[in-house]
């Protein structure tokens, strides 16, 4: 299985695990639903910006979207979570989560 297919399988698994629709995710990414379907099928390369947005939304690392080891991937899926709230706030929620993660990372670096 090629990397595009691995990423497609993984983003689909995260989306389904967190009960998002393809339309909700495509709206969040600012693309059409058919374009998003091509990502999930591994027919189109997922741009880095979309990978970053999906990782932020799912509260995982970008590398988790590329994980080929099924056991490690399932651990990542189990740890992913969805914030409750209005789907229209996805952009704001994911941006806030990114800020918090960066803050925590900076604090950890300062403690070293």
Higher local confidence (pLDDT), 112 or 74: 112
Kindly state the DSSP code that residue 46 receives in the 8-state scheme: P
Given a cut of 80, is residue 97 above it in pLDDT?
no
* pLDDT (tens digit per residue) in 3-45: 999 999 999 998 998 889 999 999 999 999 999 999 999 999 9
CA 46 to chain centre: 11
* pLDDT (tens digit per residue) in 47-88: 999 999 999 888 888 888 888 776 666 666 655 655 555 555
pLDDT (0 to 100) of residue 84: 52
> Could you give the CA distance from residue 13 to residue 75 in angstroms, rounded to a whole number?
12
Q: Kindly list the domain boundaries of the chain, sorted by start residue.
A: 3-111
Residues 6 or more apart whose CB falls under 8 angstroms from that of 100 comprise: none
Superfamily (CATH H level) for 3-111: lambda repressor-like DNA-binding domains (1.10.260.40)
> Could you give the CA distance from residue 60 to residue 54 in angstroms, rounded to a whole number?
8
């Amino acid at each position: 299985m090629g990397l595009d297919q691995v990423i497609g399988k993984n983003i689909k698994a995260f989306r389904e695990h967190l009960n998002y629709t393809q339309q909700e995710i495509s709206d969040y990414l600012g693309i059409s639903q058919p374009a998003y379907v091509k990502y999930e099928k591994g027919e189109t390369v997922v741009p880095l910006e979309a990978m970053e947005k999906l990782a932020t939304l799912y509260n995982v690392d970008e590398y988790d979207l590329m994980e080929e080891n099924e056991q490690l991937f399932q651990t990542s899926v189990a740890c992913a979570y969805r914030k409750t709230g209005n789907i229209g706030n996805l952009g704001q929620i994911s941006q806030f989560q990114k800020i918090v993660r960066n803050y925590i990372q900076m604090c950890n670096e300062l403690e070293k």
